[in-house]
Amino acid sequence: MLAPAPTTTTALSVRGLTVNYGTGVILDELDVKIPCGSFAGIVGANGSGKSTLLQACLGLLPKATRGQAQVEFFGKPLRAIRTDLGYMPQSQQVDWDFPATVLDVALMGRTASKRSWWPWPNSADKKAARQAVAAVGLQKYSGAAIGALSGGQRQRALLARTLVNSPELLVLDEPFQGIDAFSQETIVDILRELHQSGTTIIMVHHNLAEVAEYCDHVTLLANGKVSANGPTHKTLTDTAISDAYNLPGNFSANLTRDRRSVS
């Protein structure tokens, strides 16, 4: 898949985003820009607001908590690009006891984006779902109940749902959480192939070493603000990592060598 040539150089632009939970400020007047065509990682210590940032940008939080932020995808508001965006939530946010097959899960990505009065899947939807299931290597499990799958297989089923519309932008929240090494490698290979074909990827991930290996752009959050944002080699410096995680040490030289996780 080759994504259309963008009319802007920015895939995600956020200005003045504030998120409050009760009296606590999670994100404070946050500004972020992520370029088109990047494989971007969002990192930070636990509680720094990584997942909250994604959810706020995608309109998944109550408006009262988000302030008066300006959020644009490819220079457009969210409502204008919904079918060009694929979102993969954290696995614990999914009801795995729901009576659905792998193919059903992929189809949900098609029917959820339908704007017609008839939301039921047609032949084109079913074909796209079968292709998405095959793309994540689950074709022989297409009729299996999602509750019977392993953790890694469930994540790949979620990824099939995310890919079913061939989106221009993928937004992934901890896609490797709780899965085996084979499934992670499979998902990474898929993401790299998509990235090379022009898809923009934005991913929350807790492992700095893996972010340094996979991503070419990093947004580092600390205390509700952006501590650093830019190309990975300029962002994941010893000073930035030490400040964000409140840990002393020489991290940057060891990230790709020992896959040291600091969260």
Instruction: Give the distance, in angstroms, between the CA of residue 198 and the centroid of all CA atoms in the same chain.
Output: 16
Helices (H), 82-207: 102-111, 123-135, 151-163, 181-196
Instruction: Give the per-residue pLDDT at 262.
Output: 45
User: What b/e sequence results for 101-111 when a residue is b if at least 16 CB atoms lie within 10 Å of its CB, and e otherwise?
Assistant: bbbbbbbbbbb
Nearest to 14 by CA among 73, 58, 65, 70: 70
The residue type of 103 is L
Q: Reduced to 3 states, what is the DSSP secondary structure of residue 106?
A: helix
Nearest to 16 by CA among 34, 30, 33: 30
Q: Which residues does residue 225 pair with via DSSP β-bridges, in sequence order?
A: 222
List CB contacts of 200: < 8 A, sequence separation 6 or more. 3, 11, 34, 36, 37, 38, 39, 40, 168, 169, 170
The one-digit pLDDT tens for each residue of the chain (263 residues) are 444 444 468 999 999 999 988 778 889 999 999 999 999 999 999 989 999 999 999 999 876 566 678 999 999 999 999 889 999 999 877 777 888 999 999 999 887 665 554 567 788 899 999 999 999 999 999 999 999 999 899 999 999 999 999 999 999 999 999 898 988 999 999 999 999 999 999 999 999 999 999 999 999 999 889 999 999 999 998 889 988 888 776 766 566 444 444 44
Q: Reduced to 3 states, what is the DSSP secondary structure of residue 60?
A: coil
Instruction: Give the per-residue pLDDT at 251.
Output: 66
**DSSP single-letter state for residue 249:** S
How far is the C-alpha of 111 from the C-alpha of 107, rounded, in Å?
6
Instruction: Give the per-residue pLDDT at 116.
Output: 53
Instruction: Give the per-residue pLDDT at 98.
Output: 85
Instruction: Give the per-residue pLDDT at 259.
Output: 44
Instruction: Give the per-residue pLDDT at 119.
Output: 64
Instruction: Give the per-residue pLDDT at 63.
Output: 66
Token digits of residue 136: 């994540």
> Secondary structure of the chain: what % helix, strand, coil (to 5)?
40, 25, 35
Give all domains of the chain, ordered by start, each with its CATH number: 1-74+168-263 (3.40.50.300), 93-166 (no CATH)
